[in-house]
Structures are given as C-alpha cells and as structure tokens.
Structure 1
Amino acid sequence: MKRPAVGEGGGGRSEEGTSKEFGKNRWKQQKRNERRLGGKGLSLEAFANAKSRSSGYNPALIKKQKEFYRNAKYVTKYKKTLKQQNLASDHMPKVSDDKDGDKTENSQMRSKTKKKSLLSLREEYEKKHAEVEKAKTDREAIIQAKKEERAKAENRRKAEREKMFKKTRSGQPVMKYRIEHLLEGLLDGSK
C-alpha cells in the first residue's frame, strides 16, 4: 500500500488550502481590529505627538483648585455670619446720647411701638397656648371615652363567655345561653 505524500490530498492538508484560509482569516482579523479600535492605527508621528501632549492631569493644579474652592466656602460662611450679626444688632435697642429733642421723641415712639408689638405678641402667644391646651384636653377626653368603652365591652364579653362555658352536673354545656346568643345575633343581623 502506498502512503500519500505530504503535498497530496488524503490524510493531510494541502498547502494551497491552508495558505488561502490563513490569508482570509488574517484579513478578517485585521478588519475586525480596525472596526473595534475605530479606524487604522496611528502613524508613528501622530503617536509621538499624542504622547508628548499633556493629559490634563496635574496634581499641583488640582490641589490649588481644591484650596481655592475651600477658601471660597469659608468666605461665604464668614459673609453670612457678618450679615446675621448686623441684622441682630439692628434689632437690639441702641443707647444714644442725643441732645436733640426730635431724636429723643423718635426713640420714645420706637419704644411705644415695641411695647405695642410685645403686647400683641404676648396676646398671640396666649391665644395659641390656649388653643393647644384645649386641643390637648379634647384629645385626653376622647382617649378616656375610648378606654371606658373598651372596658365595658371587655366586661360584657367576659360575662357572655362565662355563660357560654357553663356546664351541667354531668359536664354537658348549658344550651339555654348558647341559643340566646344565636337569637341575639339573628335579631341584630335582621335589623
């Protein structure tokens, strides 16, 4: 029996078939890579230029920006506190050493309006306080009524339960109370 040669068909592959497939596969692989990477590769010059450009990552610059924002935050907080202190100082009564009569009259008018506003505030506070107290007593009354109702219902259920569990001398249940309970349920249902 004659063995086939390496280049002939039979058990082995032919060189032509493999070289065609290899070229085809290589071409497919190259196209797939181009599609995946978004086009042909960079030229050497473009690659060198891309590497030499700064990437935008500069730790010193980032640190400086953080410090700037932190300082801005502190400044805004400081300004707010100053504003609040100025508003608070405007509300405080000012002691003045005025010799003019007009200015003293003006301060007296201010104190009168303040007294009036204080009185109206006190009245408003007392009204609100009275409303809150009234609401509180109403709530307590409702809660007390519910408690009493629950206690009555519980006592009634206990009494009914005792009647339902009564037994005769021989240990049989007393049917009189059970039948009464059924009749009451039917009458309530019909109403």
Structure 2
Amino acid sequence: MKRLGGAAGLSLEAFVNAKNNTSFSNPALIKKQREFYKNAKYVSKFKKKLKQQNQPNELSSVVKPSEAENENGEGSKMIKKNKRSKNSLKELYEKRRKEEENARIEREMILKAKKEEREKAESRRKAAREKMSKKTRSGQPVMKYRIEHLLQTVQGSN
C-alpha cells in the first residue's frame, strides 16, 4: 500500500507520469547523458585553453609596434636583421629543396632496382615452371628438369 502512494493509491496522472518517466532506470539513456556531459566538459576546457593562448599573442602583437615607434634606431636594426633572415631563409629553403630532391632521386633509384630484381625473379620462375611442366610424347613428365631442380634445392640448402 505504501508503494502505491498510501491508502488512496496513485492518481491517474501520477500513474501515467510514472509509467512514462523511465529515463532514470534506463541504463542506455543514463550512459548517453553521462557521455554528453563529459563531452561538454571537454569542449569548455578546450575553449578556455584557446582563449588563454590567444590572449598573450594579441598582447605581444599590440606591444611590438609601439616599441618600434618609440625606438627608431633599434627599429632600423630590426629591419636589417629581417633582411638577413630573409636571405638565410632563402638559403635554408634552397638547401632543404636540394636535400628533398636528392632523397626523391634516391628513392626512385631504389624503386627501379627493386622493380628490375622482381622482373628477373619472375622470369626465372617462369622458365623453371616451363621446364617443370614439360611432358614426353606419352604424357609423362620429363624427369631431367625435375631432378636438376631437386639437386639445386639440396645444394642451396647446404
């Protein structure tokens, strides 16, 4: 009687609502809700970190132009350094490009050698298969090639 809401029992609306509200006992829904809140927490942390990273960058970019305006002598020195760094960057770019080109040529050479080796091995196998499949007039296999093959395998294993 207590479970049904006392002596009077449940009202019709309370009974219908109790039947429809099964989200608390459904483990799949509980799991979905938990996962949703977990993901929301990760997203909010990610957004906070992005804000933290963007703020120092904005401040430093705001401070740099004012320093350049205040100190004219050092500003011209910075321009010279930038020109030097552009030249060195160009040299670095050229150097890296040459290294990449050499690496590409080496890879092509290795691939070409592998391809040739594969073709040679394939032609050897094809010749061996032709010899092994030769038959006499009466349809019997030619034993000469089979014995040679067995002899080579035995010598190869030693």
Q: Give TM-score, length-normalised by structure 2.
A: 0.58
Q: 2:130 aligns with which of 156, 162, 172?
A: 162
Deviation digits for residues 42-67 of structure 1 (CA, Å, limit 9, x no counterpart): xxxxxxxxxxxxxxxxxxxxxxxxxx
Deviation (angstroms), 1:125: 2.4
Counterpart residue type for residue 113 of structure 1: K
- Of 34, 54, 59 in structure 2, the residue corresponding to residue 81 of structure 1 is 54
Which amino acid is 1:152 matched to? K
Q: Identify the match of residue 127 of structure 1 among 67, 85, 95.
A: 95
Q: Secondary structure at the match of 1:169?
A: coil
SS at match of 1:173: coil
Q: Which amino acid in structure 2 is aligned with residue 81 of structure 1?
A: N
Residue deviations 1:89-126 (CA, integer Å, cap 9, x gap): 56679885x8xxxx554332221111111211222222
- Is 1:113 aligned with 2:81? yes
Report the Cα offset of residue 73 of structure 1: 8.9
1:1-191 matches, cutoff 5 A: 78=51, 80-89=53-62, 96=69, 104-190=72-158
* 3-state SS in 1 of match to 2:136: coil
Amino acid at match of 2:138: S
| Structure 2: gaps (5+ residues) | 1-43
More helix by share: 2
Structure 1 residues 158 and 94, CA gap change in structure 2 (3 angstroms): farther
Per-residue CA deviation, residues 138-166 of structure 1 (Å, 9 max, x unaligned), is 12221221111111101110110000000
TM-score w.r.t. length of structure 1: 0.49
Tell me the SS of whatever aligns to 1:179.
helix
CA RMSD of superposed structures (Å)? 3.3
CA distance change for structure 1 residues 186 and 86 in 2, over 3 Å: closer, same or farther? same
The structure that has the greater radius of gyration is 1
Matched residue of 1:107: which SS? Answer: helix
Identity %: 43
CA contact (8 A) 2:68 2:75 kept: no
Alpha-carbon distance in 2 for matches of 1:105, 1:150: 67
Aligned-partner Cα distance in 1 for 2:103–2:66: 37
Q: State the aligned residue count.
A: 115
Q: Which runs of no fewer than 5 residues in structure 1 stay unpaired?
A: 1-70
Within 1, Cα distance between the matches of 2:129 and 2:47? Answer: 74
